[in-house]
Chain A
């Protein structure tokens, strides 16, 4: 092990780390924001509402994120219509030539699909009594969703969602397939410059490991805060 390879490229690793962190944070935020309404649609009794969402999650959960990323970044340029927009300099469509934007889009669509199914599952598992109580209190369907169903489901979804965020962190390493220099991309550059695979990739792996631990810790705090009512009680008070 030649540690100077690592110490000499710390700034590259830092820049890569920063890209990884905000790609993952932004795509998870977008995916989560989209997943809440989509999950409500997913559990709808109306097949015309439920169907398109089911098709979306089926496609994005059934194919590798790498292929989705390549499809968006390299694939869309095939269409002459898209090329015409690029030549015309249309600012919105030019975004699809930016690797950063394409990675963000692919990651957000992917995590959005998984998160939709996680939240939909949590909604289906909301105890029936809570819903009956809301109905008995005379709440409308919207009020019930806002006050009872969603808060209860979102809390219960936290453990499964924490796994999804960790998988997104690991999955984001494919960003280097479309020329982005994230943490993995930085490690690949360091490897090809110094021809030192162990130093380059083990160090990157360690950073990912630390990030994962940090996420696990954060989600434990979140569970303690929002799932406190579901924790096993150490000294249950005798009833009556």
Chain B
């Protein structure tokens, strides 16, 4: 039915997942740093973080990706020329992870900021009263509680992130969308292959939603929901 292209496309699906997970890791780190900057006492850090989250929300991911991919290559070329190094090709995977991670880091920063603020201050004071160090208060009380509040926001952003991986095919990463495009041209059955990609994305997003719902339930153990 797929003219033998099925294994190739499934391989592309793995690449898409890999791209999404790597971007997620990068975004989580950037998001935590962004949230820390937003909550810091330093005016400079707060302003920098606000510029970061604003730019990320106001500029399309594709435009940023093109900038990182083509602009980044130019910077790399300058550097390699300057130090007399060989030609180094900035690959689409690196550009994709950097861009998607950077963008969703901005969204995560907002999520984490809200979640940190949602942890009652009294619990932190109680931790300090028990003689815990600041790190212990963070690791034992603030972080685990924060995670529960952040989970719904993180989950929604993960679903958006997963879908935005498709645009990396526009800078030539051979992910499943790019492979489907190639297979569609060769076999003259583009609809079939794009539909296959849709089904694969649907499977990923549906499984993610299901897992997230279970995680949320687990992390909310002992929390009573408001009922009408």
Residues of A that sit less than 8 Å from B by CB: 58-59, 61-68, 70-71, 74-79, 128, 166, 169-174, 176-177, 184, 187-188, 191, 197-198, 201-202, 204-205, 208-209, 212-213
Contacts and interface: CB of A to CB of B under 8 A. Distances in A.
A237 to B, nearest CB: 28
Nearest to A166: B57
Interface in B47-69: 54-55, 57-64, 66-67
Main secondary structure of the interface of A (DSSP, over half): helix
Contact of A170 (B54, B60, B190): B60
22 contacts: A58-B202, A62-B201, A64-B177, A66-B177, A68-B198, A70-B181, A71-B191, A71-B194, A74-B190, A75-B184, A75-B190, A75-B191, A75-B195, A78-B189, A128-B228, A173-B61, A184-B66, A201-B66, A205-B59, A205-B60, A208-B58, A209-B55
Contacts of A201: 63-64, 66-67, 70-71
Interface stretch (B6-14, B125-133, B160-168): B160-168
Interface string B151-172: 0000000000001111101100
Contacts of A68: 198
Nearest to A76: B191
Contact of B205 (A62, A177, A187, A213): A62
Given A62-B205, A202-B67, 10 more contacts: A63-B163, A64-B167, A66-B169, A67-B198, A74-B190, A169-B60, A184-B63, A191-B66, A201-B63, A204-B63
Given A66-B166, A78-B189, A187 B63 contact: yes
